[in-house]
Amino acid sequence: MKTILAFREEEFAWSHEVFSCVHPLLLPLCNKPFIEFLIDFAILVGSTAVRILCDGGINPIERYCEDGSRWGIALSYGSLHGDDTAETLLGKNRKFCGEERIMIVSGFSFIRYDKRLNYKSLAGSLPEGEWAACPGGSITLSGAPEKPPADGAATPLSLMPLDGMASYYRASMEALETGADRYVLPGYGGEPGCAIGRNVVISKSAQIRKPVSIGNNVQLLGDTIIGPSAIIGSNVIIDRESSVESSIVLDNTYIGEQLEVIGRIASGNRLNDPRSGASISMEDPHLLGSIKKSQTLSALPRKVAHALAALVMISVLAVPFLFLWPLLKLGGRWRSAQIDCHSENPGETISLGKVELDATNALGATASTLSLDRYFRLFRVLTAELALIGSTPLPAEEPHPNAPANALAYRPGVFSYAEAEQWPATGGDAAIVERYHLVHSGPISDIGLVVKAFVNRPHEKSSA
Amino acid sequence: MIITETSANGIVIVALEGNLDALSAPKLRGSPPVADPKTTVVLDLEKVGFMDSSGLGAIVGAAREKSDPACGIVLSCMNDKVRRTFETTNAQRLFHIFDDTAAAVDFAATRQIART
């Protein structure tokens, strides 16, 4: 038996909006990433290999699950198209499937199973076709049964679609309440209904009321009350005299002093009501905040290299700029406008000047050849608002591409990697090369690409 | 880069061997079945050891020039390194990707018949 797990981005688009800090397939249900429940189920039915398919970014899943040796199975990854049928999926993965029986789990749904039951013989004996289904999700078996039909009562199995915050909350609470009896859940606990992770600091005056699940690296300060029905993620601080009841606190969250969190989902500085779907972002970090790992140091060499190169360009281009700019401006051949563009950080924008040069006369052509239309932007590299080379700045009206699935999808620059590589100029294709270099290039190769972009830009203009 | 052309079921299979980079990308773009807009090609990437942005550009550019951009180039047998390059850049959305060349040929042939 082998298993294919197939996901389409449209099924979990809601999760990107609500829980933007985590890839939907890694969204924790009772402190266990969603994808692990599916892998556990695949193992229960006797799968030796699992292939995860998605029509969107899957790199965070691959980094987390790796080759599956942690579970004793072979994990592999692939892509699919949104409109692929089960038959197409089997064709696209023919080598993986071989002659074995295949279980296809499709959709962003929570599988209600019971680890104590024998799904292996059932999955091996059921006829081809749908095993279980719910709106937007299904479990399908393909290939001839391996065993004769099993006798006895039907083994319980059902699917719950995770189509919004309410169903996510329900599934999490269900996993917490049924506890480790039905699912393999993380954490240590001397008694049922209470699982606690590693490096958890619990004040003497804190109260814990079952059922609760507490992740790793958690601090519960004095007089806090946790539970009943509380799920506390990893890297969480619950400050003094606060209580968390029937709520989920996701990873990397700080809950301030003297707060009552009842029936809510807290994620970073967002507090969500799963019943109404309402959500508020707290501006006061003393009430609710996110605990972020600083990325300043890792980006420092690149920022320093870009700033130094920008400084050199500013110095070299200063003389032609100071000579040409007033002449072009006075002659009406230098037209500029301000546009708001996305910054590298989601939620922030930067205002950039966009210059249109009339390159029909010699002065304009010279300015265009020297990329003087980008001269003012070079100063923004010194303040680290722009990279010297990166993505083409995106207008603020468009959605920000730096989702967890594509954490490195966008870093606006004075020059773009697409200009350096002379790729087809259509938006989607330019983004492909920009993403490639955002992941693969370093500070030194960036400088080389800046030179290429500087040389290629006039060529592009003349050939356009 | 070694480029081997064969055919099966009326579909041209172009198998690549070596590194697909700035040096070899023009060779791929110049390959007649890849350059011809009307020919459906299955690109076998099993023996591609490394692919950079120029190689990616050659494949994306060739697909854009096909009369049926979604199925003009069908990819097969990507190794993990090449697959990650496609996924990192989101270029996998542009192609149908198979783990078996014969399955890719069957798919391309079916689509070709449906078109004609």
Per residue in A321-337, pLDDT (tens digit) is 999 999 988 888 888 88
What is the tens place of the pLDDT at every residue in A49-59?
Answer: 999 999 888 88
* Nearest Cα residue to A22 out of A408, A281, A407, A404: A404
Kindly tell me if the per-residue pLDDT of A251 is higher than 80. yes
Distance in angstroms (rounded) separating the CA atoms of residues A412 and A276: 37
Q: How remote is the C-alpha of A180 from its chain's centroid? A: 28
What is the tens place of the pLDDT at every residue in B65-95?
Answer: 887 776 789 999 999 999 999 988 889 989 9
Distance in angstroms (rounded) separating the CA atoms of residues A60 and A413: 25
ipTM of the complex: 0.93
Query: Which residue in chain A has the smallest CA separation from B100?
Result: A95
Distance in angstroms (rounded) separating the CA atoms of residues A280 and A269: 8
Distance in angstroms (rounded) separating the CA atoms of residues B37 and A105: 37
Say which of A58, A96, A437 has its CB closest to residue B53.
Answer: A437
pTM over 0.80: yes
What is the tens place of the pLDDT at every residue in A184-199?
Answer: 999 888 788 899 999 9
- Flag the least confident range among A146-160, A200-214, A323-337, A441-455: A146-160
C-alpha distances (whole Å) from A189 to each of A25, A193, A194, A196 are 26, 8, 6, 6
The tally of CA atoms less than 13 A away on the side-chain side of residue A188 is 5
Contact between residue B47 and residue B17 where contact means Cβ atoms under 8 Å apart = yes
Distance in angstroms (rounded) separating the CA atoms of residues A212 and A192: 10
Round the average pLDDT of chain A to a whole number and report it: 88
Higher per-residue pLDDT: A382 or A460: A382
The tally of CA atoms less than 13 A away on the side-chain side of residue A182 is 15
Q: How many CB atoms lie within 10 A of CB B16?
A: 25
What is the tens place of the pLDDT at every residue in A353-372?
Answer: 888 888 788 888 899 889 99
What residues pair up with A416 in beta bridges, in sequence order? A390
Query: Which residue in chain A has the smallest CA separation from B57?
Result: A423
Which residue's structure tokens are 């905040």? A289
Distance in angstroms (rounded) separating the CA atoms of residues A329 and B79: 54
Contact A406 B90 (CB under 8 A): yes
CA of B2 to nearest chain A CA: how many angstroms apart? 24
Kindly tell me if the per-residue pLDDT of A464 is higher than 50. no
Mutate to test the interface with A, among B21, B53, B80 (most CBs of A within 10 A): B53
> Mean pLDDT, to the nearest integer, of A21-42?
94
Q: How many CB atoms lie within 10 A of CB B97?
A: 24
Contact A433 B61 (CB under 8 A): no
Query: Which residue in chain B has the smallest CA separation from A76?
Result: B80
Contacts of B88 in chain A (CB under 8 A): 59, 435-436, 439
Asked if residue A393 has a cis previous peptide bond (ω within 30° of 0), the answer is: no
Contact A421 B99 (CB under 8 A): no
Cα dihedral A105/A106/A110/A115 (nearest 10): 0
Radius of gyration, CA atoms only, chain A: 27
Distance in angstroms (rounded) separating the CA atoms of residues B56 and B62: 10
Contact B99 A435 (CB under 8 A): no
Q: Which long-range contacts (CB under 8 A, 24 or more apart) does B105-109 make?
A: B105/B8, B105/B9, B105/B11, B105/B13, B105/B42, B106/A91, B106/B9, B107/A88, B107/A91, B107/A92, B107/B74, B108/B9, B108/B11, B108/B40, B108/B42, B108/B71, B108/B74, B109/B9, B109/B10, B109/B11
Q: How many CB pairs under 8 A join A and B?
A: 88
Which residue's structure tokens are 């990433």? A33
Distance in angstroms (rounded) separating the CA atoms of residues A250 and A303: 32
Contacts of B9 in chain A (CB under 8 A): none
C-alpha distances (whole Å) from A339 to each of A310, A333, A393, A430 are 22, 19, 10, 20
Which residue's structure tokens are 């009842």? A262
Contact B100 A429 (CB under 8 A): no
CA of A125 to nearest chain B CA: how many angstroms apart? 27
Say which of B53, B64, B100 has its CB closest to residue A433.
Answer: B53
- Residue B91, chain A, CB below 8 Å: the answer is yes
Query: What's the distance, Cα to Cα, between the start and end of chain A in Å?
Result: 55
Contact A92 B97 (CB under 8 A): yes
- Flag the least confident range among A39-48, A185-194, A254-263, B96-105: A185-194
Query: What's the distance, Cα to Cα, between the start and end of chain B in Å?
Result: 34
CA of A424 to nearest chain B CA: how many angstroms apart? 7
Higher per-residue pLDDT: A412 or A457: A412
Contacts of A417 in chain B (CB under 8 A): 53
> What pLDDT is attached to residue A293?
59
Give the confidence band of A298 by pLDDT, cuts at 50, 70, 90.
Answer: low
Higher per-residue pLDDT: A286 or A32: A32
Q: How many CB atoms lie within 10 A of CB A204?
A: 6
**Architecture of the structural domain at B2-115:** 2-Layer Sandwich (3.30)
Contact B86 A79 (CB under 8 A): yes
Mutate to test the interface with B, among A52, A94, A102 (most CBs of B within 10 A): A94
Contact B99 A433 (CB under 8 A): no
Give the confidence band of A159 by pLDDT, cuts at 50, 70, 90.
Answer: very high
Kindly tell me if the per-residue pLDDT of A460 is higher than 70. no
> Mean pLDDT, to the nearest integer, of A275-295?
76
> Mean pLDDT, to the nearest integer, of A144-158?
73
Kindly tell me if the per-residue pLDDT of A305 is higher than 90. yes
Domains and CATH numbers, chain A: 2-164 (3.90.550.10), 194-288 (2.160.10.10), 296-463 (no CATH)
